[in-house]
Amino acid sequence: MNGETIVVGGGVIGLTSAVVLAEAGHRVRLWSPEEPGATTSAVAGGLWWPYRIEPEERVGAWALRSLEVYAGLLDRSEETGARLVSGVHAATPLDGLGAWAADVDGLRAATEAEYTPGDGLWARLPVLDMPTHLTWLVRRLEAAGGRVERRTVTSLAEAAEGARAVVNCTGLGAARLVPDAGMRPVRGQLVVVENPGVDTWFTHTGTGAASTYFIPQPGRLLLGGTAEAGADSLEPDPATAREIVARCAALRPEIAGARVLGHRVGLRPERAGGVRLEREELPGGGVLVHNYGHGGAGVTVAWGCADEVAALVDA
């Protein structure tokens, strides 16, 4: 074996895992068939929150570790893409959250002034401008001696050939590469508009495929959204886009007249049974660490999962 560690997958999970490994002294190459800016992670709204992710007993620790890391990036927001933004999670009772919620500073019930129905949570949480953050992760990886390579992997055995360790961060690609029949896409559609002055975020996940959220990002406002389990079309649907704008404008009327800048569609990599984060021994003495199935919360748990990946590679 040549002593290299190959990370397969160029989204936020793969990049963060590669950074942690490289900074721990591993010789890391990251293989991805697309540039990080073309991955599902680049489409994400970027709000830190454990959304559509299991298993609950592991997610809390991963999320809190990531929250700690993002707190350390706030003083370089233009470089890292990390900012603290206030907002409301509607229809989310505090006592319905896991034990992790007690460690989120300032998380509390929303007041009537903050959310008229009075049924929601107020929080000041990290919001990541994902294109900026992914670019920063690439630079940090390269500064630690790692490399990003455009490469399509046809099997994990290909990555394992000669490597000391392989880290599988392929998201939906794991359905084919592992193969893992428990993987499914959950389609999310967003509308990007000029920000008419909205400086807080809002989320209401709803009970069906439609959800309502808006997230301010530098120079724009992201409007959402959908959570269509099993749908895999990457083409924006015009009717869905109109419905998204209408739902958001019902809460903030100024959104109705905002100029549309673009449309985005991403496929969340959801897995039956939740995230798979575990180690396998490979023939010849190498190791394979799986780190996939993060659903709608890759940004939220990326650093906690990456720390565990590094521990498993070195175990």
CA-closest candidate to residue 61, choices 277, 296, 219? 277
Annotated binding site: 40-41, 153, 170, 213, 268, 295-300
At residue 286, the pLDDT reads 93
At residue 218, the pLDDT reads 97
Report CA-CA distances (Å) from 156 to 3, 13, 145, 164, 238: 17, 17, 23, 13, 38
pLDDT digits (tens, 9 = 90+) for 86-121: 999 999 999 989 999 999 999 999 998 899 877 899
- Helices and strands in the chain, H and E counts: 8, 15
Return all residues near 248 (Cβ < 8 A) that are at least 6 apart.
212, 213, 214, 223, 255
Q: Are strands 210-217 and 220-226 parallel, antiparallel or unpaired?
A: antiparallel
Distance CA 276, CA 246 (A): 37
Q: What is the DSSP string of 48-77?
A: -S--S---HHHHHHHHHHHHHHHHTTGGGH
DSSP-derived 3-state class of residue 107: coil
Annotated binding site for D-dopa: 213, 268, 296
Task: Report the domain count for the chain.
Answer: 1
Distance CA 226, CA 279 (A): 33
CA atoms within 13 A on the CB side of 191: 28
**Domain containing residue 308: CATH number:** 3.40.50.720
Predicted TM-score (pTM) of this structure:
0.97
Annotated binding site for FAD: 40-41, 153, 170, 295-300
Report the percent of the chain where pLDDT is more than 90. 94
Give mean pLDDT, residues 134-146.
98
Output phi, psi for 129, to 5 deg: -75, 100
The residue written with tokens 């099993």 in the block is 230
Residue 208 is part of which domain span? 4-314
